[in-house]
Structure 1
Amino acid sequence: MIDELRSFIQVVENQNFTKAAKKLKLSQPAVSLHILGLEKQLDTKLILRSNKEKNFLLTSDGEILFKRAKEIVHQYDDMINEIKSHAMEVKGTLKIGASLTIGEYLLPSILGELSRLYPALSFEVTIENSQSILNKVNQLELEIGLVETEIESDQLNRVPFYRDVLQVAYTSSLVPPNNPEHYHQFFNEQVWLLRESGSGTRERTDFFLENYGITPYRRIILGSNYIIKETLRQQPSVTFTSTLMKKQKFEGIEYLEDEGYQLSRLFYYVTKDGVVLSKRVQIFMALLQELYEPVK
């Protein structure tokens, strides 16, 4: 039954029998037989296939099964991992997702400590923007996600674990005015480097610009913190970034040390609601609470 459900999930996600077969390393007829077997067991049509059995339309029963199948397979895999683990040893692979800021500045030290404490534990890490990580946790593609954006969802559980501060960073060749009353004009005249939509940093930057009534001379959208840092060092420009970047002391970048132009935010760990958390996830959450001071 589990193999049939895996085939069904892949067919739906890939919207193609042949692609699903390749991902599962099965023949296309074997995948088709799995789907037919499910339909026979459930006495219903799940997929309305075309003549060539390549494209399909998911039925209403198929939509119900797809949602439940991912949960069943996730629980099954978790059960197998638990059974294979020794009572006092954490094994298996922890599937973690993190936003780019967290993934670059915090996650390496977290994983280093986790490896030291649990040497038999493996990791599968996904680094993408916060919205993408939230989607993957919700779809059970990740066991836990670390994000920098606030969420309101009845499908996800979130717990804050770190308080971050954002401030203005600028190319060293730029000279901000000494008088804070002239900051507004200075900011309006600059090229601003922004993260892409879906990024937690972009969300807070947009709020900062709107709150202070800043209209940048030009905006450049960049898809990673690394590209922003390198662009900031080579092209006169301004950005709004985590103070975690400042701790790495990059040459060619200065920071506006004015608390009136800073914003704080929370980093969260996020899990799927209603899913029994594996021992791997539980020890990871416990480590986060141990490494960082409690936040509200």
Structure 2
Amino acid sequence: MLNFRLRVFYSVATFSSFTRAAEEMFITQPAVTKNIKELESELGIRLFNRIANKITLTEAGRLLLHYTEHVLTLDKKFMFDLGVLKQKFAGDLKLGASTTIGQYVLPAILAQFKREQPDIELSLLNDNTQRIETALIDKLLDLGIVEGNSKNNQLKYIPFLKDEIVAVAHSSQSLFEKDEITLDELKSIPLVLREIGSGSLEVITDKLKQKDIKLKDLNVVMHLGSTESIKTFLANSNSIGLISINAVSKEIANGEFKIIDIANFEMERNFYFIHLHGVPSGFTEMFIQYALSYYNRK
């Protein structure tokens, strides 16, 4: 089992912040400071440079971080292998999901996984695809689930679930009366889209590019940071939103929203599991297989 002081050190080194480390580990900032000082005293060398409000690793700190990462990997492997022997798993798994997946796809999987594996501590960071990928590269997460494949060569992408981005209008607006529009009509209709860096916008941009249409050719009236914000906006504006079918299926079923077909144009995509290249931890692989089987059972 990894020494607690090393866990505190790893958290401070990862976040470059005593405050963030305290929040991450659910301890006080003075407790973080105390553990770091005791570790430095035990090793007889300074691990962090503290200049004004900035914290950086010393050469000794970088060396310790290198070995601590290896120990953490071994610790996770040990906990998983021990769970195999005991037929009871205990450990932690840090997940990150892009907004649509984290809000509309994962909750049911997480709830059932937790019922079956109550001693595995799950945490979920919900952010846009770009930030989830960055968090994985910075080793803040074990596994990401994102919209689209940005082909970052530091990451491995594993297909998870098919999705489609659809054009929708709210029942309170006049655009709701339309059943189909052309791509030329799409250029003039007021549109509301997700923010820069989101997987949804990346897919939309790529699909339009295949039709020789650029984002600037469209009448985009607003970029919003969540699908829920887009749905609320559409309820108060005669606009069309381009959003995941997974995010609006219930509202379509009850008649609040309607899909407006775009002639000869589809925006299908995959959701992907992503992790750093190499063999994923046992807990990571367990969750991937569980999520895949969950949707195969449906």
- With normalisation by structure 1, the TM-score equals 0.78
Matches within 5 A, 1:208-227: 208-212=207-211, 213=213, 215-227=217-229
Q: Which residue is equivalent to 2:264?
A: 260
1:73 is displaced (CA, Å) by 2.8
The answer to whether the 8 Å contact 1:71/1:140 transfers is no
Q: Give, in whole Å, the separation in 2 of the partners of 1:194 and 1:16.
A: 34
Q: Say which is worse superposed, 229-238 or 171-180, in terms of deviation.
A: 171-180
RMSD over equivalenced CA pairs, Å: 3.4
1:135 is displaced (CA, Å) by 2.2
Residue 170 of structure 1 aligns to a residue whose secondary structure is: strand
Question: Structure 1 residues 80 and 28 mapped into 2: Cα distance closer, same or farther (>3 Å)?
Answer: same
Question: Structure 1 residues 71 and 198 mapped into 2: Cα distance closer, same or farther (>3 Å)?
Answer: farther
1:242 aligned to 2:247? Answer: no
Q: Which residue is equivalent to 1:159?
A: 158
1:63 is displaced (CA, Å) by 3.9
Residue 270 of structure 2 aligns to a residue whose secondary structure is: strand
Q: Which residue is equivalent to 1:233?
A: 235
Q: Among 245, 267, 285, which residue is 2:288 paired with?
A: 285
Provide, for residues 236-273 of structure 1, a one-character-per-residue CA deviation record: whole Å limited to 9, x for no partner: 11121122234212544221234622111111112233
Q: Which residue is equivalent to 1:34?
A: 39
Q: Which residue is equivalent to 1:169?
A: 168
1:224 is displaced (CA, Å) by 0.9
The answer to whether the 8 Å contact 1:99/1:127 transfers is yes
> Which residue identity lines up with residue 137 of structure 1 in the other structure?
L
1:192 is displaced (CA, Å) by 1.7
Q: Which residue is equivalent to 1:144?
A: 143
Q: Which residue is equivalent to 1:88?
A: 87
> Which residue identity lines up with residue 40 of structure 2 in the other structure?
I
Q: Give, in whole Å, the separation in 2 of the partners of 1:67 and 1:203.
A: 35
Provide, for residues 158-198 of structure 1, a one-character-per-residue CA deviation record: whole Å limited to 9, x for no partner: 210212122212233233767755x41x3233332121222
Q: Which residue is equivalent to 1:198?
A: 197
> Which residue identity lines up with residue 237 of structure 2 in the other structure?
Q
Question: Structure 1 residues 111 and 6 mapped into 2: Cα distance closer, same or farther (>3 Å)?
Answer: closer
The answer to whether the 8 Å contact 1:194/1:205 transfers is no
Which consecutive unaligned segments of at least 5 residues does structure 1 have? Answer: none
> Which residue identity lines up with residue 290 of structure 2 in the other structure?
L
Q: Which residue is equivalent to 2:98?
A: 99
Question: Structure 1 residues 202 and 34 mapped into 2: Cα distance closer, same or farther (>3 Å)?
Answer: same
Report the identity percentage.
Answer: 24
Q: Give, in whole Å, the separation in 1 of the partners of 2:32 and 2:246.
A: 49
Residue 238 of structure 2 aligns to a residue whose secondary structure is: coil
Q: Give, in whole Å, the separation in 2 of the partners of 1:57 and 1:242.
A: 41
Q: Give, in whole Å, the separation in 1 of the partners of 2:179 and 2:80.
A: 60
Q: Give, in whole Å, the separation in 2 of the partners of 1:179 and 1:223.
A: 27
> Which residue identity lines up with residue 6 of structure 1 in the other structure?
R
